Amino acid sequence: ATPTALLVGTGRGAQLGILIKGPEVLESTRRIDTVVLDKTGTVTTGRMTLLETVPAAGESADDVLRMTGAVEHASEHPIARAVARSAAEAGALPQAHDFENLEGRGVRATVDGELVAVGRPGWVADELGALPAELTDAIDAAHEAGRTAVVAAWDGRARGVLVIGDTVKDTSAEAVRLFKRLGLTPVLLTGDNQRAAEQIAAQVGIDRVVAEVLPADKVDVVTSLRAEGKVVAMVGDGVNDAAALAAADLGMAMGTGTDVAIEASEITLVRGDLRAAADAVALSRRTLRTIK
């Protein structure tokens, strides 16, 4: 029979905005020593905005925004939403055809007869060769500021850089302090650039960063931490995070996130407040202490 205390524990969790799939989940929660945190939408709000469009020499910022906006209009990615919104505000967007999404790298489509690619700077450089200095300067500056930079290219040339900003949730730094107080090691995990990720990590007090991870490889990060003997909780919100959430000793999904992430997890943090992840660990320890 299920000990009454576990039921009381899950009930108490519900009051704290922590939905626990079954009373037995508290047992694995208690043993967690490492918390892997997705960056976008988990540590940050995930509500991105386009901050700047930097054209390559001889290009116009308006053109870069218009072509990029047309492609991103077809994508659901938070980066795409930010770009498409700004581009649509600036003027009507041409129709994009043959849209393609390249997971963790970027997107491609045909606009005005040109095959336009928008995505991770490293991916565009792999396809086209070194980017012009004015663009690498803009990318470096964006990363140093903890921002995301994507490159737009067509007809074999990089045409511009779009700088996108996200905001750290005002509860994230306190959540990290709570994790550390509970003896847990927080790790930031993201597909975003290493420098940008380190900048966000520094803002909230996380010392370990694993960045530039393709969506399909997030699960490997969790699996290798477990192979090192760590007992791992993964906190995430995206479709991207589902496999990692399922592979962790404990998956915790942001209630503000995707259904796929919630279904893959044992715990849902209803309000999308990272402090509730620390509350869950504290609650499980208290609850199981009362049983023993």
Q: Which residues lie near ligand ADP (CB under 6 A)?
A: 39-40, 72, 75, 77, 79-80, 104-107, 118-120, 148, 150, 190-192, 215, 238, 240
Q: Minimum distance from CB of 194 to ligand ADP (Å)?
A: 11
Query: Which one of Mg ion, ligand ADP, none interacts with residue 9, CB within 5 to 8 A by kind?
Result: none
E runs forming strands in 122-237: 148-154, 157-165, 185-189, 208-210, 232-236
Nearer to Mg ion, 48 or 96 (CB): 48
Q: Is 183 left (phi over 0), alpha (psi -120 to 50) or beta?
A: left
State which H helix or E strand residue 256 sits in.
Answer: none
- Measured from the CB atom, is 53 or 240 closer to ligand ADP? 240
Q: Give the nearest distance from C-beta 39 to Mg ion in angstroms.
A: 7
**Among 238, 251, 255, 272, which residue interacts with Mg ion (rule: CB under 5 A)?**
238
**Shorter beta-carbon distance to ligand ADP: residue 107 or 178:** 107
- Choose between 61 and 282: whose C-beta lies nearer to ligand ADP: 61
Instruction: Tell me the CA distances in angstroms from 247 to 88, 156, 266, 285, one per residue in order.
Output: 40, 40, 11, 22
Positive or negative, the Cα torsion across 40, 45, 46, 52? negative
- Which stretch of DSSP H or E encloses residue 39? none
Report d(CA 221, CA 200) in Å as an integer: 19
Nearest approach, Cβ of residue 167 and ligand ADP (Å): 14
Query: 217-229 burial by CB neighbour count: b if 16+ within 10 A, else e?
Result: ebbbbbeebeeee
Half-sphere exposure of 42 (CA within 13 A, CB side): 32
What is the smallest separation between the CB atom of 38 and Mg ion, expressed in angstroms? 4
170 a catalytic residue: no
By CB under 5 A, residue 237 contacts Mg ion: yes
Catalytic residue among 33, 38, 217, 279: 38
- CB 268 → ligand ADP: shortest distance, Å? 19
Q: Choose from ligand ADP, Mg ion, none: what does 237 bind? Cβ within 5-8 Å by kind.
A: Mg ion
H/E segment holding residue 90: helix 78-90
Active-site residues, by number, are 38
Q: Which residues bind Mg ion (CB under 5 A)?
A: 38, 40-41, 237-238
